[in-house]
Structure 1
Amino acid sequence: MSAIRILLCIFLTTALVGCGTVVPDLREWPENDHFGAVDLVRIIVRSVECELKHTVTDVINTDANQAKMRANHRYFTEFLNNWGAEVALTFTIVEKSGFNPNATWLPASPASAIFSLSGDASLSAQATRIQKLNIFYTMKDLYLPKGKDCDASGEDPSGSFLIRNDLKLRDVFDARILPAIVGIANLPGEGQKNVLSQQITFQAVIGGSLTPTVLLTRASVNTGGSFLSGSRDRTHDLLITFGPLDKPAGGKSLIAIAEQSHFTSQINSGVTTGFRAVLSR
C-alpha cells in the first residue's frame, strides 16, 4: 500500500507542476494529442451543424403543415429563404499551478523562553489558450430535403457539452415567428435590420492539491496551505447569429447589422472570459 501511495504522490506532483508552464491542450489526458484536438473540433462542428439542420428543417416543415390549415394558407417562414447563419466557436483553456512550501523552526530554548522562526515561499504559473473557429451557412444549406438526414448520434460526447446536446435553437425561431402568427408583430422584411442570436457557454473546472507534511522535533514543514496545486479551466463558447443575407456581397455573408451584432457578441464574450480568468487567480 505504501508503494502505491508513493507512486500516486509522484504522479500528482508531476501533473500539477506542469500546469501553466506549457501551451494547454484542447483535450484532457489521454486524448490530449494533435489528433485528439482535431477530432474534438470536428465532432463539435458536426454536432452543431446537425442541430442547426434539424432545427431549421423542423421549423420550416412545421410552418408548411400548419399553413394548410390556415384560412389564408399563409407561410410565416418564407423570410428564412434569404437568411443565413454565422457560427463562432471559441475554445478557452486556462491552466494554473502553484508551489507554496512553508516551514517552522523551534530552536532549543529554556522552558521560560518562547521563540520560533517560520518562513514560506510561493511560485505560480498560468497559461491561457484561446482558439476560434467561424463557419457560415445559408438557410438553404441547412434545410434537409425529404430523405436527407444529418446524424451525429454516434459521436462521442465526452469532449464537450456542446456535443449531442439540445441547444434550444427552436426557441430562437419560435420567439420571433409566433408573435407574427398571433398578429402582434410583423415578420422580418427583406433587407430590414432583423437579427436573431443565441450564445451558449459551457465551463468545466478541474483542480487538485498535494500537501505532504513533515513534523520533526524542532521543525515542521508544510503544516498549512497547499504545497502543490493545479487547475484546468475549460470553456467552450458557441455563438450563432441569424440574419438576412447581404445580396450585394453575393449572399456569402450577413447584412452589416447582423455581422456587427455577431462581432460585438464575440468581443463581449472575450472580455467576460478575460475577467473570469483574472478573478479566478
Structure 2
Amino acid sequence: MPRLRLLVLCLVASCGGCGLHLPEMQEPYQASKEEKLDENAIVNRIKCELHKSVQDVLFKYRRSDQYLGKSVEWLTGWGAAVTLKITADEKSAINPGFSIPAFPHAERLSVAGGIQASADATRAETIGMTYRFDDLLAEGWIEECDRSGPIIVTSDLKIGQFIENKAFLAAVPGTVPVRQKVFDAFSYQATFVITYGGGITPTYKFVDVTANPDAPFLNGSRTRTHDITITIGEATGKRTYANKLSPRAEAQNYVETLSQAIASANRSRLSR
C-alpha cells in the first residue's frame, strides 16, 4: 500500500499546474506573433466582403430598361454594425486509475480505483466596428477578396449571399409596401468552431499494482470559436470616427449580439 499511496501522490502532483493558465489566442502550431496578424486578416476579410457584396448588388440591380424592379440605391445610405468575438477555451484532465489484488497473491479478484482532476481556462476578445457603405464604396471597385490567412478567412463567409437575398426582397415589386421605402434592418450571424483534442495513457506495472489499466490518464482539448454578428441598417448622422446606425438597427444589433453571446456560453457549458 505505501507504493500505491506514493504513486497516487505523484500522479496528482504531476497535474498540479495542468491547464491552469490562460490559453493563447493563436493556434497551437502558430507563433505568438501570428495572433495579431490573424485578427487583422479576419477583420479585413469581413470588411472586404461587405464592400464587395454591396457593390455587386448595386451593379446587379441598377436601374435600366431591362430591369423593372424597385431601386436598391438606398443601400448607399446604409451601413453595417459588425461584432467579432474570438474565444479560446482549453480543457485538461487527469484520470489515473489503479488495480490491486484484493488479497495477497490473489489472481482472479482485484480492486480497482482512481482519482480525477480537471482544469478549464477560457479567454475571449470582442471587437465592434460600424462601416458606412458609401465610405466602403469610395475605396474603389473590388474584384476579389484576399483569402490568405486562417481558416475563417479562407472560407466564404456568405455575406454576399445574405445581402443579395435581402436586396432581392426589397427590389421585387409588392414585397415592401408602396409607402415604405425599405426594411428597417436585417441581421446575420455566423460561427466557426475549431477543435483540437488528444490523450495519452501510459501503463505502469509494479509488483502488485497496475496503474492506468483502462481509463485515459491525461487528455486535453482546445476550442477556438469565432462568432460574427452583422446588423445592416440606415446610417445616421454625419461621418465621424464612430459611425452609427438608426436606433432601430442599433437595438436589433444589441439583441442579436446578446443572443449570440448566450449561445456561445451555452456551447461552452455543454462541452464541459
Secondary structure of the 2:231 match is strand
Query: What's the CA shift string for 1:211-259, capped at 9, x where partnerless?
Result: 0112345221101211000000111111111001223897920111211
Contact 1:56–1:142 (8 Å) recurs in 2: no
CA distance in 1, matches of 2:90, 2:195: 10
Task: Report how far residue 55 of structure 1 moved.
Answer: 0.9
CA distance in 2, matches of 1:212, 1:105: 17
CA distance in 1, matches of 2:180, 2:191: 31
Task: Report how far residue 165 of structure 1 moved.
Answer: 2.6
CA distance in 2, matches of 1:176, 1:200: 17
CA distance in 2, matches of 1:124, 1:194: 48
Contact 1:26–1:32 (8 Å) recurs in 2: no
Task: Give the letter for the 2:148 counterpart.
Answer: E
Task: Give the letter for the 1:122 counterpart.
Answer: Q
Task: Give the letter for the 1:160 counterpart.
Answer: I
Partner of 1:124: 118
Contact 1:152–1:164 (8 Å) recurs in 2: no
Following superposition of structure 1 onto structure 2, how do residues 22-37 of structure 1 map, counting pairs within 5 Å? 22-33=21-32, 35-37=33-35
Overall identity of the aligned pairs, in %: 28
Task: Report how far residue 110 of structure 1 moved.
Answer: 6.9
Q: 1:27 and 1:89, CA in 2 relative to 1: closer, same or farther beyond 3 A?
A: same
Query: What's the CA shift string for 1:64-84, capped at 9, x where partnerless?
Result: 2xx222476x76112112211
Q: 1:29 and 1:145, CA in 2 relative to 1: closer, same or farther beyond 3 A?
A: closer
Q: 1:153 and 1:177, CA in 2 relative to 1: closer, same or farther beyond 3 A?
A: closer
Contact 1:108–1:218 (8 Å) recurs in 2: no
Secondary structure of the 1:212 match is coil
Q: 1:155 and 1:249, CA in 2 relative to 1: closer, same or farther beyond 3 A?
A: closer
CA distance in 2, matches of 1:273, 1:71: 43
Task: Give the letter for the 2:208 counterpart.
Answer: R
Partner of 1:43: 41
Partner of 1:11: none
Task: Report how far residue 144 of structure 1 moved.
Answer: 5.3
Partner of 2:80: 85
Following superposition of structure 1 onto structure 2, how do residues 105-124 of structure 1 map, counting pairs within 5 Å? 105-106=100-101, 109=104, 116-124=110-118
Contact 1:96–1:232 (8 Å) recurs in 2: yes
Query: What's the CA shift string for 1:37-73, capped at 9, x where partnerless?
Result: 1111111111111111111111111222xx222476x
Partner of 1:6: none
Secondary structure of the 2:187 match is strand
Count of residues in correspondence between the two structures: 257
Partner residue of 1:272 out of 254, 263, 268: 263
Secondary structure of the 1:245 match is strand
Q: 1:28 and 1:181, CA in 2 relative to 1: closer, same or farther beyond 3 A?
A: closer
Contact 1:89–1:239 (8 Å) recurs in 2: yes
Partner of 2:65: 69
CA distance in 1, matches of 2:67, 2:219: 68
TM-score (norm. length: structure 2): 0.83
CA distance in 2, matches of 1:221, 1:231: 23
Task: Report how far residue 102 of structure 1 moved.
Answer: 1.0
Partner residue of 2:155 out of 165, 168, 171: 165
CA distance in 1, matches of 2:121, 2:236: 40
Partner of 1:138: 132
Answering whether residue 209 of structure 2 is matched by residue 213 of structure 1, we say: no
TM-score (norm. length: structure 1): 0.80
CA distance in 2, matches of 1:70, 1:270: 45
Say what the alpha-carbon RMSD is for the aligned residues. 2.9
Following superposition of structure 1 onto structure 2, how do residues 189-228 of structure 1 map, counting pairs within 5 Å? 189=180, 194-228=184-218
Contact 1:198–1:240 (8 Å) recurs in 2: yes
Task: Report how far residue 263 of structure 1 moved.
Answer: 1.2
Contact 1:193–1:257 (8 Å) recurs in 2: no
Contact 1:206–1:231 (8 Å) recurs in 2: yes
Task: Report how far residue 25 of structure 1 moved.
Answer: 1.0
